[in-house]
Amino acid sequence: MKLSHFNFDLPKELLAEFPAENRDEARLMVIDRKKQTIEHKMFKDVIDYFDDGDVMILNNTKVFPARLYGNKEKTGARIEVFLLRELNAEQRLWDVLVDPARKIRIGNKLYFGDDDSLVAEVIDNTTSRGRTLRFLYDGSYEEFRNKLTELGETPIPKYINREVTPEDAERYQTIYAKEEGAVAAPTAGLHFSKHLLKRLEIKGVNFAEVTLHVGLGTFNPVEVEDLSKHKMDSEELKITQEACDIVNEAKGKRKRVCAVGTTSMRAIESSVSSQNTLNPYEGWTNKFIFPPHDFSVATCMITNFHTPKSTLLMMISAFCGHDLMKKAYEEAIKEKYKFYSYGDAMLIL
């Protein structure tokens, strides 16, 4: 399959600027691969498709306030710094993106906060927009991290053309987020409310938690026509023995195993045994899933509606079947489903 197979016209007004008023009241498109059918529901109706002993795999990563605004020394120019990942805790080294990048060179210092209480020095260029920063801060590591949290803002996606609101700090985070380290939310999980999770639990559905710290690489556009030549950025992944036991027991009993989101799907497809069971893992993954791909663990998945030519859309095509995916997306546009991070959801059975 080629990149051009994943292009489509997405009307601008279908990109969701705000989340649904209540988490579980977004719309839900239900696709049955066997019957080749498409139904229109509300997200809370997802409970009707799961029974006692089924498993949902949740990505429990937590988004940290990764976007900082600082000023360049001497010129005072306003610079946006997007924290990607911590390289060395002791030396306070971070891999970041800067904007506008042309102004930021090795040796420059950046000042953050009204009182310039945090300073960073640029010590390396990594890509056209990428830099390595060393933060200079008098205080313990814990105080330094608190300072970053205090000065940073919720990294809602760039396409959302508005100021960040206090609500974003809560809504751009799943209610089961625990392990801090993501710069973008695993958005399919944003639709679960406490009430819905409780109802699923009462029904006998089990939850297996994995951790995949979502990086910006997930959203990098694919720029090669031959998909096999696209390189994914690596993201940190942890799958515990406990999660494996929950998933493998359900598989053994032929129960439904549902990956909640493309990040959960990438996580589990990154660590599979030759018997198609889930293995524990701790490390990094740069797994890129595109058609054709044999999925080993999940029998269904929940996902949002993705943008044209994205790696996420390619995974959905591989799981759903390309023709059915195209039909579903045409229907979604016709029915005015909302797309992307704060948008509506899809359940693929």
- Per-residue pLDDT tens over the stretch 292-330: 999 999 999 999 999 999 999 999 999 999 999 999 999
- Per-residue pLDDT tens over the stretch 22-74: 999 999 999 999 999 999 999 999 999 999 999 999 999 999 999 999 999 88
From 124, 153, 182, give the residue that closes a domain: 153
Q: Which two tokens stand for residue 284?
A: 């990094």
Q: Which two tokens stand for residue 198?
A: 């409780």
- pTM tops 0.85, yes or no: yes
Is residue 163 in a domain?
no
212 and 319 fall within a common domain: yes
CB under 8 Å to 111, separation ≥6 — which residues? 70, 71, 72, 73, 118, 119
- What is the pLDDT at residue 207? 98
270 and 174 fall within a common domain: yes
User: Is the peptide bond preceding residue 65 cis, with omega within 30 degrees of 0?
Assistant: no
Q: How far is CA 161 from the centre of its chain?
A: 19
91 and 123 fall within a common domain: yes
**128: pLDDT strictly greater than 80:** yes
Contact 225, 74 (CB under 8 A): no
Give residue 170's identity as a one-letter amino acid code.
E
- What is the pLDDT at residue 217? 75
315 and 273 fall within a common domain: yes
Q: What is the spatial distance between Cα 342 and Cα 27, in angstroms, rounded to a whole number?
A: 11
Is residue 164 in a domain?
no
133 and 259 fall within a common domain: no
**What beta strand segments (E) does 154-270 contain?**
179-182, 206-212, 235-239, 257-260
Is residue 245 in a domain?
yes
Is residue 201 in a domain?
yes
181 and 264 fall within a common domain: yes
For 16, 188, 314, 327, the CA distances from 6, given in Å and listed in that order, are: 20, 20, 7, 13
The range of the structural domain enclosing residue 54 comes to 3-63+169-348
Is residue 326 in a domain?
yes
233 pLDDT tier (thresholds 50, 70, 90):
confident
Is residue 161 in a domain?
no
- Per-residue pLDDT tens over the stretch 166-200: 899 999 999 999 999 999 999 999 999 999 999 99
From 153, 187, 221, give the residue that closes a domain: 153
Is residue 158 in a domain?
no
219 pLDDT tier (thresholds 50, 70, 90):
confident
CB under 8 Å to 187, separation ≥6 — which residues? 261, 304, 340, 341, 342, 343
Helix 322-334 vs helix 311-320: crossing angle, to nearest 10: 120
308 and 175 fall within a common domain: yes
For 172, 175, 327, the CA distances from 160, given in Å and listed in that order, are: 12, 22, 27
Tell me the pairing of strands 93-99 and 78-88: antiparallel
Q: For 58-174, where are the alpha helices, taking DSSP H only? A: 141-151, 166-171
Query: In the chain, how many domains are there?
Result: 2
Give the domain CATH number at 76: 2.40.10.240
55 and 107 fall within a common domain: no
174 and 233 fall within a common domain: yes
335 and 201 fall within a common domain: yes
286 and 217 fall within a common domain: yes
- What is the pLDDT at residue 74? 84
217 and 327 fall within a common domain: yes
Give the domain CATH number at 321: 3.40.1780.10
Q: What is the spatial distance between Cα 118 and Cα 277, in angstroms, rounded to a whole number?
A: 47
From 102, 122, 153, give the residue that closes a domain: 153
Is residue 8 in a domain?
yes
